Amino acid sequence: MTNSTLDLPKRPWRQRYHVAAIGWTLVLGVLLVLSSLMTGANLGTFLSNIDQFLALLVQMSHPAWSYLHVILQPLYETIQMAILGTTIGAVLAVPFALLAASNLVGNRLLRGLIRFFLDLVRTLPDLLLAAIFVAVFGIGSTAGVITLAIFSFGMVSKLFYEVIETIDMGPLEALKSVGATKVTMIWYAVLPQILNQFVSYFLYTLEINVRASTVLGYLGAGGIGVYLQRSLGEFNYSATAVIILATLVVVLVIDGISNHLRRVLL
Amino acid sequence: MQATATAPIIAFHHVNKIYANGTVGLKDIDFQIPRGQFLVVVGLSGAGKSTLLRTINRMHEISSGEIRIDDAPIGAYKGKALRQLRCHIGMIFQNFNLVNRASVERNVLSGLVGYYPTWKCILGLFSAADKQRAVQALKRVSLTPKIFTRADELSGGQQQRVAIARTLMQDPKIILADEPVASLDPRTTKDVMDTLQRLNREDGITVIVNLHSVALARQYADRIIGLRAGELVYDQPIDNVTTADLDRIYQTN
Ligand SMILES: Nc1ncnc2c1ncn2[C@@H]1O[C@H](COP(=O)(O)OP(=O)(O)OP(=O)(O)O)[C@@H](O)[C@H]1O
Ligand SMILES: [Mg+2]
């Protein structure tokens, strides 16, 4: 009798020999080799050019610190761009996220349309957006802010509606039962449940955007990236080094602050 | 003796409810609830108790038949009229359904949102008189010291009393309570049931409670009805109720 409780069901042979795991590893290996053959990427070229790479590193190891005061203003601009773009994107994302959440919107067609639109926005590469908006608005931070706003909107709206779908529906039911309107229900029963996670995702997106905005600037979308491109174009690698180091510090500080805030919030 | 004194506050006329997936929720329910009654609904899990309760404030729609409240059919209400109907019907839940991250005060005030325009609710512009009423409501459930505490810092019994205070803000003529004590210990169960009884006796509120406990049903009810598989299989004033009757409702066949 006691023995029978220990009788576990037999694992099928597929599970016992890890067929799936081994299979996928092989498939991935083959894909890796094939794709490197097809794109012509090979380790040889990288190794044969390593001396050029080393020369660049030597120059960069003598940062021109006097350049620092030139880039403080554009660094500041980069941070502003990131904050502004993230805020615009996140605020716009809230109503869309509410409409995309399956526990709030019963109408499948509406929800489907909203989600399709959000998916579409998310597929737009940020570099492409930046190139387009620089062409439209000219070189400067306007193009950067709009690009970051759209990029944040796409990313945050999905994170937001996934959070909304995990909320406790009890308070909503209670608010409905006292005769609340839809908007009041959301304000009283949904927002308090998701606010902390919203802020957390906002900060996370801000982190990503500070990094992204340095790259966008490279395309002329304002901020520090413009200077990065200029210094590289002039082979002024000691200035490049300053820009990279300064950017690194800014990114680290922003990451630190946002990590701290998120820990406090959750 | 007068005709109006016996006019029912709620009347079910051959009500059927079939869920979208084909499950029968209610089957030909036909009975009346007099004003001021303390009615207890008993029945096995899945018998349709929650469904019955939720048709009264139209949280669930019925498939056929008619429900009248104060002699007015409620089936056709839409939008504002529906919200107004719900304004006057309090609802208490097994899981309290408070907004955990909000203060007790805000939870209590949320019972009023049906009476205010949306923009005032959002800005929290409740009148001073109503804020005073919130304090009074908390006093009635003996929770005034907790007014600024976050709801999730309270015990289960305290949370349920906050939920009752929220309902009091509605100034309801009917309170629907769906297994209000199922997740509470015996002492807090008594607290909550006594509070409901006081509201019934002192304020004349009609109270309808779903209960799983036969002992509680016998202790508090004026009248007990029993459901089985969506059908009303038992209906007696408390003086006629016997233990054998109740045991039969809970028999599984
Ligand atoms: N949304 C729904 N969709 C489909 N069927 C449902 C739904 N809600 C309830 N039911 C079914 O309707 C029947 C009655 O359910 P109801 O919740 O009213 O029972 P109950 O008496 O309250 O049970 P319990 O004591 O477990 O709360 C059950 O068979 C249940 O599975
Ligand atoms: Mg139930």
pLDDT in tens, A46-85: 777 787 778 778 877 777 788 888 888 888 888 888 899 9
Ligand 1, atom 27: closest residue by C-alpha: B45
Q: Are B28 and B48 in contact (CB under 8 A)?
A: no
pLDDT in tens, A167-224: 999 999 999 999 999 999 999 999 989 988 898 899 889 888 888 887 787 777 778 8
Q: Does B182 touch chain A (CB under 8 A)?
A: no
Residue whose token pair is 């190891």: A61
Residue A105 phi/psi, 5° resolution?
-110, 110
Domain boundaries, chain A: 71-265
In the three-class reduction of DSSP (H, G, I as helix; E, B as strand; rest coil), residue B27 is classed as strand
Q: Measured over all CA atoms, what is the biggest interatomic distance in chain B, rounded to whole angstroms?
A: 56
Instruction: For residue A181, give the DSSP letter.
Output: -
pTM of the model: 0.79
Name every residue in A having a CB less than 8 A away from some CB of B.
168, 170-171, 173-181, 183-184, 187-189, 192-193, 195
Query: Is B121's CB within 8 Å of A180's CB?
Result: yes
> Is the pLDDT reported for residue A1 higher than 50?
no
CB atoms within 10 A of CB B96: 26
The ipTM, to two decimals, is: 0.90
Query: Is A184's CB within 8 Å of B118's CB?
Result: yes
Q: How far is CA B196 from the centre of its chain?
A: 10
Residue B236: its H or E element:
strand B231-237
Q: In CATH, what class is A71-265?
A: mainly alpha
Q: Which two tokens stand for residue A110?
A: 């509406």
Kindly report the three-state secondary structure assignment for every residue of B121-181: HHHCCCCHHHHHHHHHHHHHCCCHHHCCCEHHHCCHHHHHHHHHHHHHHCCCCEEEEECCC
Q: Are A224 and A75 in contact (CB under 8 A)?
A: yes
Total count of residues recorded for chain A: 266
Which chain A residues touch B89 with a CB distance below 8 Å?
Answer: 177
Question: Average pLDDT for residues A213-241, to the nearest whole number?
Answer: 82
pLDDT in tens, A111-165: 999 999 999 998 888 888 888 888 888 877 888 888 899 999 999 999 999 999 9
Round to whole Å and give the CA distance between A90 and A152: 6
Total count of residues recorded for chain B: 253
- The ligand 1 site (C-beta within 6 Å) comprises B 19, 21, 23, 25, 43, 45-51
CA dihedral A209, A82, A258, A125 (to 10 degrees): -20
Query: Is A188's CB within 8 Å of B83's CB?
Result: no
> Is the pLDDT reported for residue A262 higher than 60?
yes
Residue A240: its H or E element:
helix A237-265
Which chain B residues touch A174 with a CB distance below 8 Å?
Answer: 91, 93, 97-98, 110, 163, 166
> Is the pLDDT reported for residue B136 higher than 50?
yes
Torsion A141-A144-A150-A151 (CA) sign: negative
Query: Could you tell me the distance, in angstroms and rounded to a whole number, from the CA of residue A152 to the centre of ligand 1?
Result: 42
Which chain A residues touch B111 with a CB distance below 8 Å?
Answer: 178
